[in-house]
Chains A and B, each alone.
Chain A
Amino acid sequence: MILEAIGRLIRGSNLFNALNTRTVEIVLQMSPGKPGADKRGIKDLDWQVSKDGAVIQTGKTTDDGKIPMRVRGGESVLQLLFAAAVVAEYRVRIRDTALDAVTDPRGQLRRLRILGYQIGHSGGDNIGVDGTNPPPALTVEGDRSMLEFQTDGGIKSTGIMDANTRTALTNAVGA
């Protein structure tokens, strides 16, 4: 188990050790799309957060499926429980770096994934399922995730990443 590094201090010292916990809002949904819409949230689900093997936070999802997850030292683990047994586990890391731009196919791919859309191959062979394909070929245009996102958002389902779709994608993710 990794411990927080803490300095013992001599008496009378004015120094201290800061321990900053950061919260990330996780939303558990039954189907992909913008959080909060159409009652997609999974409610009343027990969850716990652990850090280096020790449980640091426990709770139940709210009606909209939200979890105010506490993350320390950049990374914690979120576990979902059913009948007190862990049924799913996610490693959650806080990224301080900005997402790739929404004009960049990598940025588009990441946003679709964040919203829970499954990236498929319906639009041809050039789709980097996890962004690991060589960049020149990478595109999400025509992919089923895009078509679904456009349908869900009431945008004409063209499969083309036009300005409207990019704006909708940025708004849905909030970044």
Chain B
Amino acid sequence: MPNHEVEQGDCISSIADQYGFFWSTLWNHADNADLKQLRKDPNALLEGDVVVVPDKTVKEESCATEQKHKFKKKGTPAKIKLRLLLDDEPRKNEPFKLNIDGKWIKEGKTDGNGYLEADIPAGAKQGELRVGSGNNIEIFSLGLGTLDPADTESGVEDRLLGLGYDMSAGLEEALKAFQTKEQLQVSGTLDDATRAKLKERYGQ
């Protein structure tokens, strides 16, 4: 039974895909109960986490000889869901184009609340998102699977950066700015209320 040590860019979907499992099989496996307890959310694992990959079981099918039989491999693609904001206001009905690992996979418009969603291969690593039209195009480079869990310091920084806060003066100052804007108690420390608000605003 191999163990998979999580690297930056891994997520439960990409690990499952690599070993030929459904993500839920790994996540709900008894040997991963501790990890599940620790991270709670299968979407965000931290570099260094260990996912136990169970041995594969053999499924037997009896088939008649001299005939063609079709077997379909079931796959569960992952997805990304983004919410685009401009000065904290949703960017509604904005045209976008999404490139995943070198292939343009989706073109469309954000919805009325600024959301866009796309199925992506579970192991997809990099994305490029182009928003806008004509001469007014904004480009986002996406590091897929690189968001750290919300209860780690790097995960908090990732979220603050995503929301547009300046991290150059350090985490404490950025937290103060966030707390001021959200009308929370301005402590510069990551208390429960701040953490909850940050998850709500960032979306996970």
Contacts and interface: CB of A to CB of B under 8 A. Distances in A.
Given A7-B145, A74-B166, A20 B13 contact: no
A90 to B, nearest CB: 15
Contacts of B126: 3
Contact of B167 (A3, A15, A73): A73
Contacts of A55: 139
Contacts of B83: 16-19
A21 B80 contact: no
A74 B82 contact: no
B81 A96 contact: no
Interface residues of A, number: 39
Best-buried of B166, B169, B177, B180 by chain A (most CB within 10 Å): B166
Interface in B134-176: 135-148, 158, 161-169, 173-174, 176
Best-buried of B77, B161, B169 by chain A (most CB within 10 Å): B161
B135 to A, nearest CB: 6
Contacts of B177: 96-97
Contacts of B204: 7, 9, 15-17
Contact of B11 (A8, A16, A73): A8
B147 A5 contact: yes
Interface string A144-162: 0000000000000000000
Contacts of A71: 164
Chain B interface bracket (under 10, 10 to 19, 20 to 34, 35 or more): 35 or more
Contacts of A23: 86-87
B203 interface: yes
B43 A3 contact: no
Interface stretch (B51-59, B65-73, B115-123): B115-123
Contacts of B78: 8-11
B79 A8 contact: yes
A8 B80 contact: yes
Given A73-B161, A96-B181, 19 more contacts: A4-B140, A5-B146, A6-B80, A6-B144, A7-B44, A8-B80, A8-B124, A9-B43, A16-B82, A18-B83, A19-B82, A19-B140, A23-B87, A55-B139, A56-B138, A57-B138, A74-B165, A74-B166, A96-B173
A19 B180 CA distance: 20
Contacts of B77: 11
A79 interface: no
Nearest to A49: B138
A60 B114 CA distance: 27
A45 to B, nearest CB: 15
Interface string A26-63: 00000000000000000000000000101111110000
A5 B79 contact: no
